[in-house]
């Protein structure tokens, strides 16, 4: 039998609002919210443990819900007021799930290839940029994304939204710059740092060996710690008046050059 909640004053609904709005609450409880059919489908594909699904029947029927989720997941029908209270965006298709977070440790990464290609982003601040980086990583089908010195948790609703659920399907880890550098060296992965100083044009380098492409923030670039540990510094030649571009765009150019070389290399 499906439970129903119609009041925004319900204690469980108040808890979900906290999960939506506060990183501290997500970390404390080990839970987060997933909105939308595609995002939920990708979370299930990524083996996330989904505890409960809440649905607004005017937007999605229980029958349609049954085609999306396993029968053992608890379901709660909610009113329009409750849905609007806990939804992060308007176009959520009437479905919100409560799921358990994962650890995202460096040691959780499993390389399926002996020649991995990974992306490292140092201290990205904007959730939209993180989401775009994850979408690029998915499009290029690289092994993993590592966030160095993260400024926000990976279950921020804006990251989930902007990644269109790719945060669930790629291997994603976080750690300090020191720990990540150590991890890369332990796995004999070449470090290519996007930088303005002492850099070679990106298309002149060989990315067919185990490779990490490392990008920094648009405002300050990579820290000296990364530049000192770099195998090669690389740069995208600019044709206009400015000397930087959006970090997700730059990462896309660099990653797909590496993918192109690997395809040609067979």
Tokens 């399907």: give the residue: 169
Segment 36-57, tens digit of pLDDT? 999 999 999 999 999 999 999 9
Determine phi and psi for 147, rounding to 5 degrees.
-100, 120
pLDDT band at 243 (very low <50, low <70, confident <90, very high): low
Let me know: does 21 contact 148? Beta carbons within 8 Å: no
Segment 194-216, tens digit of pLDDT? 998 878 999 999 999 999 999 99
Sign of CA dihedral 139, 140, 143, 147: negative
From 5-9, 17-21, 33-37, 86-90, the region with the lowest mean pLDDT = 86-90
- Closest residue by Cα to residue 34 from 42, 24, 25, 23: 42
Q: Is 91 exposed, middle or buried (0-12, 13-18, 19+ CB in 10 A)?
A: exposed
Let me know: does 68 contact 40? Beta carbons within 8 Å: yes
Mean model confidence pLDDT for the chain: 94
In this structure, what token pair is assigned to residue 122?
């140092």
In this structure, what token pair is assigned to residue 169?
């399907």
| Amino acid 219: pLDDT | 78
Segment 134-153, tens digit of pLDDT? 999 999 999 999 999 999 99
- DSSP 8-state secondary structure symbol assigned to residue 149: S
From 53-57, 156-160, 245-249, the region with the lowest mean pLDDT = 245-249
What's the pTM value of the predicted model, to 2 decimals? 0.93
| Amino acid 24: pLDDT | 96
- Closest residue by Cα to residue 6 from 61, 62, 79, 94: 79
| Amino acid 116: pLDDT | 97
Segment 174-191, tens digit of pLDDT? 999 999 999 999 999 999
pLDDT beyond 80 at 231: yes
């Amino acid at each position: 039998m499906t439970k129903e909640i119609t009041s925004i004053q319900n204690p469980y609904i108040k808890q979900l609002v906290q999960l939506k709005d506060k990183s501290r609450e997500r970390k404390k409880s080990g839970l987060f919210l997933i909105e939308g059919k595609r995002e939920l489908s990708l979370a299930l594909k990524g083996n996330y443990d989904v505890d409960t699904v809440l649905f607004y029947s005017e937007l999605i029927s229980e029958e349609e819900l049954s085609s999306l989720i396993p029968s053992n997941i608890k379901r709660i029908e909610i009113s329009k007021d409750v849905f609007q209270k806990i939804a992060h965006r308007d176009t959520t298709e009437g479905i919100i799930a409560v799921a358990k977070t994962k650890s995202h440790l460096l040691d959780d990464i499993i390389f399926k290839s002996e020649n991995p290609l990974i992306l490292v982003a140092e201290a990205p601040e904007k959730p939209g940029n993180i989401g775009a980086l994850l979408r690029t990583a998915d499009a290029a089908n690289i092994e993993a994304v590592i966030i160095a010195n993260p400024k926000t948790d990976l279950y921020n609703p804006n990251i989930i939204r902007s990644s269109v659920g790719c945060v669930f399907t790629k291997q994603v880890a976080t750690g300090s710059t020191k720990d990540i550098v150590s991890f890369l060296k332990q796995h004999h992965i070449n470090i290519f740092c996007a930088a303005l100083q002492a850099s070679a044009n990106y298309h002149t380098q060989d990315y067919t060996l185990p490779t990490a492409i490392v990008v920094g923030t648009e405002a300050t670039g990579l820290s000296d710690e990364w530049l000192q540990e770099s195998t090669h510094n690389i740069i995208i030649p600019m044709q206009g008046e400015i000397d930087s571009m959006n970090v997700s765009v730059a990462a896309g150019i660099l990653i797909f050059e590496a993918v192109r070389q690997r395809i040609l290399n067979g």
